[in-house]
Amino acid sequence: MINADKRERWKSDIQLSVDQYNNWFSQAAPKAYRETRLRTIRSVEETFKQTRDLTEITPVALKANPRLLRVLRMCTAPPIARDRLVGLSYVCSKNLIEKMEKFGKIPPRMRPEDLTLSLAKVCGVISELLDQDLFPWIHGGGTIDRRQRDIAVTVVAERLCEAETDSIVRNAQESRQLGLIEDWLLARGYTKVKHPSSLPITAMDPGTFATRQNVPAKASDGNHKVNIPVDVAIQPHHPRPNCLPVLIEAKSAGDFTNVNKRRKEEGMKVKQLRDTYGPDAQLYLFLCGYFNEGYLSYSAAENLDWIWEHRLDDLEKAGV
């Protein structure tokens, strides 16, 4: 074990990790938010353009660009949550709404007549609930004042960003963590690769690493195969006897409240890895932020080990 059995260091490591996260947040989170807001403003402007300033919210427009729906939900008063829109429009296929927003696609197997009817209902709900104070031209007619339009675009963009603040910060932190590991590996002669899914994970070449890699494993029932997503897979210059790469899950947390949400999932991952690759298989957690002693105790009990971001050279102890 690298850190899981070093209880005497837990308290000091927790404080160092919290300080590191807070310093990063103060310096980088506002920048990440601003960059996201600029991208979001461009997305809202495109939505206004494709719907003629919200005066033509039609199934045709949504078919042409399904991602418009995400913006349109923020144009109502109050903004409509995805599940609420499904209920208000009486659209049975929640899958339709999710596919449109998450992937920008229409479910390919949906019958054209069902699709048109569902989109018409969605458009009807949104058009009825449009924020009249924010878009007075909808019912007032006439030309749109440019300043009025710019304010409306900015407000809708802010609504979108506010709804996704946590994910904006989380994504920025994850990218930073993976960048740190990548730089550390490149400085030690490792090469970044895209490991083919057709080859066993144990076939990774020595001295290579891959990010956001799927690792095949046995399902919990033992009868099926599943792909376990890991953030980093590293095949050391001198591979271990079983040739299983060092597997890392990057994790950050901005408070102590929510750190336990995925810990059972991590325990399940490492169990599946050991059922597939043997008892020596390990999934290292790469931690930065608010991880308390309760979280660490649970992870240690599951035979999970971790590497603190503030002590990145502990990767060497993992055999890298």
Query: Is the pTM here over 0.75, yes or no?
Result: no
pLDDT top residue among 270 and 180? 180
| Residue 261 confidence (pLDDT) | 67
Q: Specify the higher pLDDT residue, 113 or 223.
A: 113
Q: Would you call 176 helix, strand, or coil by DSSP?
A: helix
Question: What does the pLDDT read at residue 162?
Answer: 82
Strand bridging mode 225-235 / 208-218:
antiparallel
**DSSP string covering 88-129, please?**
HHT-S-HHHHHIIIIIS---TTS-HHHHHHHHHHHHHHHHHH
Which residues contact residue 196 at a Cβ distance below 8 angstroms, ignoring those fewer than 6 apart? none
pLDDT at res. 84 = 92
Residue given tokens 């690769």 in the structure block: 193
Question: How many Cβ atoms from other residues are within 10 Å of residue 257's Cβ?
Answer: 10
Share of the chain above pLDDT 90, in %: 64
CATH classification code of 7-28+167-318: 3.40.1350
Cis peptide before 108 (omega within 30 of 0): no
Q: What is the pLDDT of residue 266?
A: 85
Q: What is the C-alpha separation between 273 and 280, in angstroms, rounded? A: 9
Query: Which amino acid, one-letter code, is at 137?
Result: W
302-308-311-315 Cα dihedral, nearest 10 degrees: 50
For residue 266, what are its two tokens? 């991590």
Instruction: Report the alpha-carbon distance of residue 76 to residue 132 in Å, rounded.
Output: 8
> Residue 233 in contact with residue 202, Cβ under 8 Å?
no
Instruction: In the chain, list all ranges with CATH 3.40.1350.
Output: 7-28+167-318
CA 159 from centroid of its chain's CA atoms: 19
C-alpha to C-alpha distances, 87 to 84, 92, 102, nearest whole angstrom: 5, 8, 19
Structure tokens at 212: 């956001």
**Which residue type does 32 have?**
A
Of 242 and 191, the structure prediction assigns the larger pLDDT to: 191
Residues 179-204 have pLDDT tens digits of 999 999 999 999 999 998 889 999 99
